[in-house]
Amino acid sequence: RKEVEQDPGPFNVPEGATVAFNCTYSNSASQSFFWYRQDCRKEPKLLMSVYSSGNEDGRFTAQLNRASQYISLLIRDSKLSDSATYLCVVNMETGGFKTIFGAGTRLFVKA
């Protein structure tokens, strides 16, 4: 079983749609959680951190459920520019620092 698993995608949605991505992690020692965005042939860029209380940044909302070891990202009113791969990321520090990326979920937003 992979340590961080994401919806395989791809997701094809029209402009203006709401889309949700799911991510699960297997190690209960995981401490911090993030969503990164990666455009084709580019480096990943931080989208937002994820907190248990939930957090929102404009059209983006992230949620963490530690009991279920589940992370989500909701994008409202999708724009063409949201087309990218969304990476779920988990950090832990057990016997050394470790960052684990999910395989990513590809999103295509169409006009």
Partner 1 sequence: DAGVTQSPTHLIKTRGQHVTLRCSPISGHKSVSWYQQVLGQGPQFIFQYYEKEERGRGNFPDRFSARQFPNYSSELNVNALLLGDSALYLCASSLTTGTNEKLFFGSGTQLSVL
Q: In the complex, which residues of this chain contact partner 1 (CB under 8 A)?
A: 4, 31-32, 34, 36, 42-46, 49, 87, 91-93, 96-104
Q: How far is the CB of 58 from partner 1 (least distance, A)?
A: 18
Measuring CA to CA, which residue among 2, 9, 15 is closest to residue 110? 15
Question: 73 or 104: whose CB is closer to partner 1?
Answer: 104
b (16+ CB within 10 A) / e for 62-73:
bbbeeeebebbb
Q: How far is the CB of 77 from partner 1 (least distance, A)?
A: 25
Q: How far is the CB of 88 from partner 1 (least distance, A)?
A: 8
| Residue 95 to residue 45: CA distance in whole angstroms | 27
Question: 42 or 59: whose CB is closer to partner 1?
Answer: 42
| Residue 106 to residue 104: CA distance in whole angstroms | 6
